[in-house]
Amino acid sequence: MNEIAIICVDDDPAILSSLEMEIKTIFGNTYLIELAENGDDAIALCIELLAESIEIALVISDYIMPEMAGDELLTRIHELSPKTAKIMLTGQANIEAVSRAIHYANLYRYISKPWQVDDLKLTVKEALNSYLREQKIVEHTYNLVETNKALIKLNQDKNEFLGIAAHDLKNPLSAIKGWAEMIIEEYDDMPKSEIIEVSQLILNSSRQMFELIRNLLDVNAIESGEIHAKLSRVDILPTVQEVVSCYNERAKTKSIILQLHQKNNQYNAFVDKGTVHQILDNLISNAVKYSPYGKHIDIRMCESDKMVCCEIKDEGQGLSVFDQKQLFNKFTRLTPKPTGNEHSNGLGLFIVKKLVEAMHGKVWCKSELGNGTSFFVEFPLFNSQIM
């Protein structure tokens, strides 16, 4: 909780000193006690305390003061700090002033002068307790509202999660079912080449389902805080070469040239090898997926004093500013579409970003409509690892 202040206002220094002493006998040094001899000073003091994020729990003000009466002062303080408890001291039972303070300043109570010490102490205690209870209620209500928002968002995500899973699994499952039935019913009349072709279609649909299920499990692990990257010294060049080699065949089916550029024979990073493979697999897969036929994809390796960087640059249609802002969000469907009827579930780049950050790395994108897209992913260099 922030520091809490009590303000006493009276044009008589002796009364101010007496108020301060009696409040200290109740609370000791638990609260900050501030004094002001007129309304203008009290308002300036309130503004200063609030600017410093100090809560004003209670203001005790005399009614009869030069230039600004107590009821006007408390009304103006109420405008600055509505939750502050207010007590007015009055030597005259001015019903109109008290009524105005109650109506416009939410006056907690007025005390007649000269006051009874026990009455003053009891009233101050009750006023402060009332303020603290109100603050706890406000805080508890805020926490409940935030928790409810989080639960609503979680439920929305779950429904979206299930909706995407059901939609994206339905098509490949239907295809597998149809092709399997075709083989069973027409096996005797099907040439071997056609059986192999249909089996390949079944395999491709199975891979699509497997990728979606893996992504959904990865998202669940990320949001459950169950990412546990085991960091160690890893030369990531062989991993890059392996992923490039894997996607070379897929690139060839679209007449895409996939080329790796490197200056060094090794790039030692402080990472989890399997996680790096998953990240690069996703980024290079996307480059092939969204590149038009007959284009180039360049993968460039470099390193600085602290980081190992891999750039994946394609010659696709590029991304708009709006798409770039949505790029690493969950369940994002971007404007560009795969160029060879490949599948996309909108989870890959969200997962990539979380995995990179789990290894203290960074991933970002540079793109311009009509001029392709470059993805950059950086990993900590081994000799500058975060321990």
What DSSP character marks residue 381?
B
Q: Which residues contact 370 (CB under 8 A, 6 or more apart)?
A: 317, 318
129 contacts 103 by C-beta, under 8 angstroms:
no
For residue 58, the domain's CATH number is 3.40.50.2300
pLDDT in tens, the chain (387 residues): 568 999 999 999 999 999 999 899 888 888 999 999 999 999 999 999 999 999 999 999 998 888 898 889 999 999 999 989 999 888 765 677 777 777 777 888 888 888 888 888 888 898 888 888 888 887 888 888 888 888 887 777 777 667 666 766 777 788 888 888 888 988 888 888 888 888 888 887 887 777 777 767 777 777 777 777 788 999 999 999 999 998 888 889 899 999 999 999 999 999 989 889 989 988 998 899 888 899 999 999 999 889 999 999 999 888 888 888 888 887 677 777 777 666 665 677 888 888 898 899 999 999 988 888 999 999 999 874 444
Considering the domain architecture, whether residues 352 and 266 belong to the same structural domain is answered as yes
161 contacts 346 by C-beta, under 8 angstroms:
no
**How many domains does one find in the chain?**
3
Question: 191: burial class by Cβ within 10 Å (0-12, 13-18, 19+)?
Answer: exposed
Give the C-alpha separation, 356 to 379, whole Å.
8
Considering the domain architecture, whether residues 218 and 251 belong to the same structural domain is answered as no
For residue 216, the domain's CATH number is 1.10.287.130
- 326 residue type, one letter: Q
Q: What's the predicted TM-score (pTM) here? A: 0.53
Considering the domain architecture, whether residues 161 and 264 belong to the same structural domain is answered as no
Confirm whether 77 is domain-assigned: yes
